[in-house]
Structure 1
Amino acid sequence: MPGQFAIGVIGYVVAVNLLAYAAMVLDKARAENSSQRIPESTLLNLAIIGGSIGTVIAQQTIRHKTRKEPFRSRLVGIVLLQVLVLIALIVGLVVTGSPETLWQFLTF
């Protein structure tokens, strides 16, 4: 069961990051063609739900929204928040010794 959960989490992270990357590429193409754009809120929501890596990679590789404020600052904030949550989960796993114990502690 834990292996299946890990595979599911990895699959989700890959899928949402590919989607976030694709959304950034599509938004840039639409900007260049003066078409209807993807709202910044949609791009940031994709980052919030786990697509921040894909969003940042797209931002750097296709040079899209690199200077656009407040988008850039909000994306940095999302990435920092996600890094802090990841660090807290890792520390929690080390302290409790297992994912099950950590889950029980968090849901008591």
Structure 2
Amino acid sequence: MSIKETLHEAKIHAEEKLDNLEERFKEKKFSHELEHQMKKEVRDEHHLEKEINHEFNHDIKEGIKEAKHEYKADEKEAKHFAKELNKDIDEFEKQERKDQHEYAKLLKKQMEEEQ
């Protein structure tokens, strides 16, 4: 083999090696870009989930706050109703005792008249 042929083969070998290096570089670059894109998608998805959870928690807190407010209003109304009911019961019992007292007086008076 002549020097010219050896140089030519070395040149071809160097070009093939360069092509392989360029191809490997492109593959690594593509792999890196793909990895970067996947990480970005994961971050975006995590951020979206976090935002949704925040909104969901906010809605739940608002619902709990509203339910607590309604409960307090119902509790206040129930206390007022119970107070009015107790007042009516006391008034009824007072009237009942008064009626019994008058009836007892009437019976006593009637018994005294019969004797």
Structure number with greater Rg is 2
Question: Structure 1 length as normaliser, TM-score?
Answer: 0.31
Normalised by the size of structure 2, how large is the TM-score? Answer: 0.29
Structure richer in helix, relative to its length: 2
